Amino acid sequence: MIPLKKNIDLNLLTCLDALLTEGSVTRAAERLNMSQPGMSHALSRLRALTGDALFVRSGNDFIPTERAQALAGKVRVGLAAMEEIFSEEGPFDPANTAGKLTVAAVDSVGVLLIPLLAQALAKEAPMVAMHVRLPDPEQLREWLAEGECDIALGFFPDVNPELHGGDLFGQELSIISGPSHPLRGQPMDFQQYADSTHVIFGSPFSERSPMEGAIDQALKERGIERRHSVQVSSMLLVPYVIAASPHVAALPTWLARQYADMLSLDVRPMPMTHPPILIRMLWHDRTHRTGLHRWVRQLVRSLTRELARTEGAISVAHNIEGTTFPGGM
């Protein structure tokens, strides 16, 4: 273990956070009800401890250095840990809790769970605001650790061992095609599927989603490579492209059936054996013990079980209360 430097005043973390937030010694001092000389002295001590200028002048601007920018997320995590350590533990009261919840959810999970989660929050925790965004699987650990999101919901085959989490439910896949596909209304075997042209989806962060990657890998093991004729950034665009083209695409079965009547789509089972797409909920130790986030995670599990009972759209994972990788619920 690397020894800590002696005589470190933990209040300096609060000063650094204020400086990073305000971008000004004067405003940072006002934020913490300190004198400007006092904040300037704190900055001098921070520079000595870190061995970096942290902030430099550029005209009238007060710009953080690369080192200061790199420390920003760690500072937030450290302050959250301090608040947790020294705050009084008491029963969590969602009705009287104000806060913000950021959820990174893939499209299919968003369509299923986010409306129900919004409804439950409005009823039980009306002062909690929810922000929903698409996840970037490559940056998920950093996002969860640094506060870019609080929980992530999606198909994440490779989970960083630093993260907590567990399986929520499995989604079977089906193949969809539109009125102009040559096999309209007919069965489709594996070779016909492989010979078709395909629509795939990714996200703003990647051309290919983890689900599409899993399908491509399964086909590669059979010596087959799909012809990717159209690539879109959202799963929810796929049915509309399919309806207007001669291509095929894979979607979660429950979602494919929702669009089938509206867009006159054929829905067929996958012409090859493929395990269900396993949806997971992930979070970081930063939020592991906080009352709001523990309550929300339990709410997500309850909503998942209710969906499985009432809609039959998904199959709840057996270890919904457990974990499948290092971390823990």
- Residue 319 is predicted with a pLDDT of 47
With a pLDDT cut of 70, the percent of the chain lying above it is 89
- Residue 300 is predicted with a pLDDT of 95
- Residue 176 is predicted with a pLDDT of 97
Token output for 170: 């499995």
The tens digit of pLDDT for each residue in 168-181 reads 988 889 999 999 99
* Residues 73, 147 contacting (CB under 8 angstroms): yes
Angle, to 10 degrees, between the axis of helix 11-22 and the axis of helix 36-50? 110
- Residue 322 is predicted with a pLDDT of 40
Average pLDDT, the chain: 86
CB neighbours of 186 closer than 8 A, spacing ≥ 6?
none
Q: Which residues of the chain are modeled with pLDDT < 70?
A: 1-8, 83-90, 311-329
**DSSP character string of 251-305:** EEHHHHHHHHHHHT-EEEE-SS--PPEEEEEEE-GGGSS-HHHHHHHHHHHHHHH
3-state secondary structure of 91: coil
- Residue 205 is predicted with a pLDDT of 86
Instruction: From residue 204, give the alpha-carbon distance in Å to each of 130, 239, 321.
Output: 21, 19, 31
* Residues 129, 98 contacting (CB under 8 angstroms): no
Helices (H) and strands (E) in the chain, counts: 11, 13
- Residue 325 is predicted with a pLDDT of 36
Token output for 37: 């000389």
The tens digit of pLDDT for each residue in 25-76 reads 888 888 888 888 888 898 898 888 888 888 888 777 788 888 888 888 888 8
> Taking the complete model, does pTM exceed 0.75, yes or no?
no
Query: Residue 129 gets which letter from DSSP?
Result: E
- Residue 193 is predicted with a pLDDT of 94
- Residue 312 is predicted with a pLDDT of 58
CB neighbours of 70 closer than 8 A, spacing ≥ 6?
none
The tens digit of pLDDT for each residue in 113-128 reads 999 999 999 999 999 9
User: In terms of Cα–Cα distance, which of 241, 186, 173, 244 is closest to 212?
Assistant: 173
